[in-house]
């Protein structure tokens, strides 16, 4: 399968600071990547769709100015949590869309655990 990396794997920061999370497709190009958020013992919640070279599409209820997404190249998408607060503490996970003919799959990164103090 395709390999997706995420960096950092975990981060602790002070309230009010910004945190950048990188998502990279290592052995393929991804025009579309997705960012999810997951709380303990819950399912994944899609935050936004990141398209290379264009603005991200955010899901309803997700603050665009708080969660900045940039997809500057075919192998890299970044999520910046601006002015982080304790309620932003969560597990953030990205995925990359792979299309093969009429089939497609999403391959996920290992996730980033964010703790805001």
Partner 1 sequence: AQKITQTQPGMFVQEKEAVTLDCTYDTSDPSYGLFWYKQPSSGEMIFLIYQGSYDQQNATEGRYSLNFQKARKSANLVISASQLGDSAMYFCAMKEGYNQGGKLIFGQGTELSVKP
Which residue, among 85, 72, 76, has the nearest Cα to 19 in the 3D structure? 85
Confirm if 28 and 4 have CB atoms less than 8 A apart: no
Task: Give 15 or 42: the residue with its C-beta nearer to partner 1.
Answer: 42
Can residue 95 be called a binding residue for partner 1 (CB under 8 A)?
yes
Can residue 89 be called a binding residue for partner 1 (CB under 8 A)?
no
Can residue 106 be called a binding residue for partner 1 (CB under 8 A)?
yes
Can residue 29 be called a binding residue for partner 1 (CB under 8 A)?
no
Can residue 91 be called a binding residue for partner 1 (CB under 8 A)?
yes
Task: Give 37 or 81: the residue with its C-beta nearer to partner 1.
Answer: 37
Strands 10-13 and 112-116: parallel
Can residue 8 be called a binding residue for partner 1 (CB under 8 A)?
no
How many residues of this chain interact with partner 1, rule: CB under 8 A?
A: 26
Which residue, among 34, 39, 38, 47, has the nearest Cα to 95 in the 3D structure? 34
SS3 16: coil
Instruction: Report the interface residues with partner 1, using CB under 8 A.
Output: 1, 32, 34, 38, 42-44, 46, 49, 57, 91, 93, 95, 97, 99, 102-111, 113
């Amino acid at each position: 399968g395709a390999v997706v990396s995420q960096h950092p794997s975990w981060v602790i920061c002070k309230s009010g600071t910004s945190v950048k999370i990188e998502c990279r497709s290592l052995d393929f190009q991804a025009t579309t990547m997705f960012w999810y958020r997951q709380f303990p013992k819950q399912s994944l919640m899609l935050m936004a769709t990141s398209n290379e070279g264009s603005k991200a599409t955010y899901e309803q209820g997700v603050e665009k100015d708080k969660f900045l997404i940039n997809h500057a190249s075919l192998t890299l998408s970044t999520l910046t949590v601006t002015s982080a607060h304790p309620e932003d503490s969560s597990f953030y996970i990205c995925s990359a869309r792979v299309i093969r003919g009429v089939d497609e799959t999403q391959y996920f990164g290992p996730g980033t655990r964010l703790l805001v103090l």
